[in-house]
Structure 1
Amino acid sequence: MDRLHRELVLVIFMWAQCVAIQETTIYRDLMTSVTLPCQFDEAPSIRLWKMQSPGRAEEILFMHHNKFTNDRYYSLDTRYQSWNLVISTILERHKGVYSCMKEGMIPVQKYSLIINGPPSLPANTPWLYSVSVPEGNTAKLMCNFTGSPQPSIHWFAEENDDLRPIHVEGPILQLANITRACGTRFVCLAENKYSDSPINMTFDVEVAFPPQILLYDANSPNKDVTLTEIYRKRGVEVVLRCDVIMFPDVKLYWKIRNKNSKLQELVSYTPGGEVLKSSKGNLYNFQVKVLPQKKVTMFDLVFITDQEKTFSEYVCETEGDIYPGTHRSIAIHKLR
């Protein structure tokens, strides 16, 4: 029973120590002062104040009555059997965790000093992010603002340089089962009572999806994208337009298949690069137009049906790294 009693006393003592060193958070404005109390129940042989600030090593401020810091704003108040740390003028460098310790390096008091101020971003945090999410997945956007008091955060979608509120508050915006229609710019604005104006983080959300092809004769009045065969007279101009809706960009090809022949390349185009003709493409002209806001590339194949071999099957094809390539074809027949 004595052993059980001793173990129980030890557990209670350890729990009491944990309670005694519970960290206290103190909020103060810049250029004000603060006193961090520290009381000892006995007279230990060692008394120590140390400070740990973000991104810096621990610093000993006082040991007994000896001062180990060059910071003139620190002092000790030892009246009334106390050993309090006084910061006479609080500057930005003073924020951090302060520990009052006794012999055996046992903490007696612990304080986290937080300086009141407007919201800000942690060091080296960019204010603009590009986020690419596959269609159907979930995008999680997070604003990493700091500030005291805790800033209020509101989310907006940017449309034509205007911000439209989306009625979401807090540091996280989650877009579940995302579609390509969600590909836009989202902005979070943060402010508290110390703000002169809100600060922001911005997220350019791009939704990745497999390329889709619409293929038709741009010279035709109805521009029917469902046709796989069209009939044209000899000697007329044909503009086969391949509209590719895509993100991210993929490589595009025009290919031809004559009667009793294999598929042969006419031209290729890598977005941002040049149109490269093959030796088979001498009868043809090519035009590229990009509509970046709509994620559309218009790839035109232009020719005159003045030779028999122009009456063939034409294939528009894509090649990418993320999604499998796709293609559409249309055959030109001679109208008799």
Structure 2
Amino acid sequence: MDELTRLRELRADAPAPDRAALAPGRALLTDAIAGRNRRTRRLRADWRIASLGAVVAITAAALFITQIVDATAPRHGHLAARTHGPDLSSPAAALKEAADALTRMETPVEPRDDQWVYLREVGGTVTDRVRVGDSVQTDPTVPQAMDRLDPHTPHETWLKYGGEAEEKEKTTDLIHRPYSPSRLHRIAIELPQNPQELLAELRRAFPADAGYRVAGETTDEHNYRAVFTLLDQSYAIPPHALARVYTALATVKDVKVTDRLVRDASGREVIAVTRESSRTNIRQEIFIDPRTYAYTGFREVVTKEHMAWYDGTRYPGDVIGDLARTGTAVVDAKGQKP
């Protein structure tokens, strides 16, 4: 099927423009054809000039058709909506759109085992903030063991791509990483296509003691946490594998998407895929870049007043974790920056 036939079928439902709207373009084409006929004998002597004339005529016709389509095209609908941002009408819609885009991307070359993953992050997990009256203050008596990093200072981390799980890099990142970046890459690419089977694999890969003090969580809580852990601890999941993960995430019970882009710890606008736990009284938000659909960080927000052993009383709206991944790269040595 040629391009003009496809164009006619695409706009089959558009109203035909009236003769007045077509008249200027028709006149231009008529004059061009007439001029070409008068010059036929002269142009025949030089095939290069004749080819140029054909290109001009085709270009004029294409511009004319484009003007007609633009004049009759609707200013709303699916195609128009995509130009204004991601579809945030539901988690299924947002994550399907992300998955569809990812499946069209090329898979990058995997790093070598002797290379290093460079991460730059801002924000962190706040564990020393308590509310006193109407203000939130720092409590120096609260343990700091769960701090991920200073929430006010950019933080850089280097991870050996092919390092062993037992190898603990000496960084200030205190999150336990049970797998090396290369192992996480293999886990991701080997995930099954079926969403429920994929989630089951992630639950096995990230059990309750894999980096988080979790007890009594439901299967749906475990599913969400396992997906988050894979995203947060991986350097770069291949696009097709990430598409499968997003598709599975959309099936987790009580997962939602914020109906507008939100600001992360670095100030960027991001998609927020959320899930609220009545057991922990916390809403966790997974952040996704609305252009590349890569994971870019997270936030944890208190939803109900309660007492936490490590940071005192929590109040609704308190942000207890807010991390933005602002830079990732592969470098050849620890300490090297891109």
How would you bin the TM-score normalised by the shorter chain?
Answer: under 0.3
Between Structure 1 and Structure 2, which shows a larger proportion of helix residues?
A: 2
- In our comparison, the structure showing a higher alpha carbon Rg is 1
| Higher RCO, 1 vs 2 (CA within 8 Å, ≥6 residues apart) | 2
